[in-house]
Structure 1
Amino acid sequence: METRFADVVRSLAFYAIFYPGSVIMVFLALPFAALGERQIWLLAYSWSAFHRFCCRWLLGIRVEIKGEFPEDGVLVAMRHESFFEAIELPLLTPWPTPFPKSELLKIPGWGWALSRFGVVAVERAGGAASLRRMIATARGFAARGRQLVIFPEGTRMPTGATAQLRSGFAGTYKMLGLPVVPVAVDSGRLYHRIWKKAGTITYTLGERIEPGLPRAEIEARVGAAITTHH
């Protein structure tokens, strides 16, 4: 997509307002986290809403949701094309529980705030013991009705690329024993660039997939569902 002068102006305005506002949110994270997980969730929701506002009125990006996000403790497997959908999580589900890299929880102050919000830390080189801890933590959050949100591809994928699911996704699905709700998103064509573009980013929710399927089948069904736009 060709970059226009309007894209540059809109993007500069977005950077000038959203990022300084985000810095303020980061400084507020510690006192809000000290008050409790509901308070830090409120701050996270406010940041997501601020981001959506800036995208709508500065970048000209609208959001469309096809289907309904779950409100119970299930595994949400979402396509990952840009930071857009990661920032949006508190707006999409009542109480999301993301799976960040464990290194993020080691950042002084910020890591503590993340842990207070409630996340499932992923230790990719931790072995079987760390995997068992991760699954136990995830089950605890799901039992409380929180939505477990995972990016099964493990990293941002280019728009139009075929889904390449990480091997850990099928193992996590099997060990959790929870239904999966796949979600496609096409943010990469508008947001994953320096000069962002106006348009509509669409979330498309697939059918809920029952637990207990063989690895090949769950990977095929989720991979197809999260790339439904392409």
Structure 2
Amino acid sequence: MASLRSVIVTLIWLAGCLLICTLFAWTLLGPASWSRPISRLIVRFTHWLFRIGLGITYEIRGTLPDRPVLVAAKHQSAWETFGFCLFFENPCYVLKQELTWIPLFGWYLKKQRMLAIDRAGGAKALRALLARARAPLAEGRPLIIFPEGTRVPPGEARPYHPGVAALYQSLELPCVPVALNSGLVWPKPLLGKRPGHVVVEVLPEIPAGLDRKVFVARLSREIEAASARLLEDGRTAQAR
């Protein structure tokens, strides 16, 4: 029954997102400020639907600074790929290029000038990312990056990609680490969602200017340790 409920709610979500994107596609013809409210509408609709349909709730511990900083977050599910739009006015995501190829959805990403990167492009793609990252910063937007580069199941960790260190060092930005446990309720399979509580924890800011290796070691250590703690707390709560 729980699996069937997840399937039904997810299908309603997909249909609702498609409807919203289609009805307001005309906003893509104007400046980015036209379509930005539509993106936020989709995010609010998503959280409302999964709260009433599946009992998925969330909380944020701490405050994310809405200014030009580098936000490096754990990546366990699709939840955080849109969830941060609740906490920022106009965030800029570093995301895989393939997402911008999705009809309608990808058009909104392009209009909001997200930083799409070719993950197979190597050093050339990284240089292009660094060059383009200065524009959103000049607009006062925070940069959001998932250092592992892909979703990683709860309890697992992967090496952090060089992009986060390159952005940190080249742009001379402070970095805000973020831990979470979203994979407990929103696992990688699209239809496998379950009731639960997502916790997003903002960790102490890492100042600019650290050695690259020192920065990556500190970032991964703090994010992984906090995410492991949130995971254990979440599993304990689910078992009650």
Calculate the TM-score normalised by the size of structure 1.
0.89
Residues in 1 aligned to 2:218 and 2:49: alpha-carbon distance in whole angstroms: 34
Change (3 A) 1:188 1:110: closer
Q: Deviations over 1:64-113 (max 9, x none)?
A: 11000111011110111010111223112121101122344355665443
Residues in 2 aligned to 1:202 and 1:124: alpha-carbon distance in whole angstroms: 28
Q: How does 1:53-72 map to 2 (within 5 A)?
A: 53-72=48-67
Query: Which of 76, 79, 86 lines up with 1:81 in the alignment?
Result: 76
1:43: which partner in 2? 38
Instruction: Check conservation: 1:30, 1:110, Cα contact below 8 A.
Output: no
Between stretches 18-27 and 69-78, larger displacement belongs to 18-27
- Percent of residue pairs identical: 34
1:210: which partner in 2? 207
Residues in 2 aligned to 1:95 and 1:22: alpha-carbon distance in whole angstroms: 20
Amino acid of the structure 1 residue aligned with 2:7 = L
Q: How does 1:1-230 map to 2 (within 5 A)?
A: 5=1, 7-28=2-23, 30-106=25-101, 110-126=105-121, 128-192=123-187, 193=189, 194-227=191-224, 228-230=226-228
Q: Gaps (5+ residues) in structure 2?
A: 229-240
Q: Gaps (5+ residues) in structure 1?
A: none
Give the superposition deviation at 1:136: 2.5
Amino acid of the structure 1 residue aligned with 2:196 = G
Change (3 A) 1:130 1:158: closer
Residues in 2 aligned to 1:163 and 1:92: alpha-carbon distance in whole angstroms: 26
Residues in 2 aligned to 1:125 and 1:9: alpha-carbon distance in whole angstroms: 37
- SS of the aligned residue for 1:51 comes to helix
Change (3 A) 1:124 1:198: closer
Residues in 1 aligned to 2:195 and 2:101: alpha-carbon distance in whole angstroms: 36
Q: Deviations over 1:19-57 (max 9, x none)?
A: 110111332463122122112111110000000001211
**Number of paired residues?**
225
